[in-house]
Structure 1
């Protein structure tokens, strides 16, 4: 007995495959947002002078964003958006911004400032010694 595909089964199968592929595009999907497994402790990320006051810098390879909300106050957060797992794309005007769906996080504490993000960016541990910022 042969099984004939109908137009409906082909469309359903194609749609399910596209949906599964689309979901994997935005990260690992585990929702943890932690980059600890991807980043090496002790690794220098930047010099303190590389992080602008009132702004920050994204380290894509380590999936970490480092900010300087006030002079000599450095914070670090996961660079993985808590909405769908995109990597944040910029730091401007006091927020860390995700290019995928417009989520924004405050540079001082990683809390949600706007967009569809359901929760804050998880904090990451850094050490500031002299003019060096390292992953803890």
Structure 2
């Protein structure tokens, strides 16, 4: 007999069974974190808080022309696509319930899966979202944007 070390062997298990189990564990180990990544950030953000009628939301000067701002209280996205035209949307992405995080280059961006929405009407400019951001009714009173 040889004194060379022998490879470790699990009694009663052949190589094919080990490979099959490793493949199942590998797929499961990868898929669970990927599935978890499709959920909402920071909990169950499924519905935005809508401003009440007459509630001051922001000054018109707070919203840049051709851009917008995202406000936490109330949760709302305000945009000014053209000077003097103000739009408001829910900050909740309809794809998986994540909150949008920035407004740049005429788009509202969701960081979770890359969806982008128009600042003009909230429509989808890039998926995976299949529908646009929910519109929120606002009006301008003097130099203030208020809930409608």
Q: Distance in 2 between matches of 1:40 and 1:29?
A: 16
Structure with higher Rg: it is: 2
> Which one has the bigger strand percentage?
1
Q: Distance in 2 between matches of 1:90 and 1:103?
A: 12
- Does residue 59 (structure 1) correspond to residue 71 (structure 2)? The answer is yes
Q: Distance in 2 between matches of 1:45 and 1:29?
A: 20
Q: Distance in 1 between matches of 2:40 and 2:89?
A: 21
- Does residue 48 (structure 1) correspond to residue 79 (structure 2)? The answer is no
What's the TM-score, normalizing by structure 1?
0.75
Q: Distance in 2 between matches of 1:92 and 1:24?
A: 24
1:4 aligned residue: none
Instruction: Give me the CA root mean square deviation.
Output: 2.8
Structure 1 residue runs of 4+, over 3 Å off? 17-30
Instruction: Report 1:97-112 matches (<5 A).
Output: 97-112=109-124
Q: Which runs of 5+ in 1 are unaligned?
A: 1-10, 12-16
Of 84, 88, 101 in structure 2, the residue corresponding to residue 76 of structure 1 is 88
2:102 aligned residue: 90
Q: Which runs of 5+ in 2 are unaligned?
A: 1-24, 26-31
* 8 A contact 1:55–1:107 mirrored in 2: yes
Alignment size in residue pairs: 123
User: C-alpha displacement at 1:24, in angstroms?
Assistant: 6.0
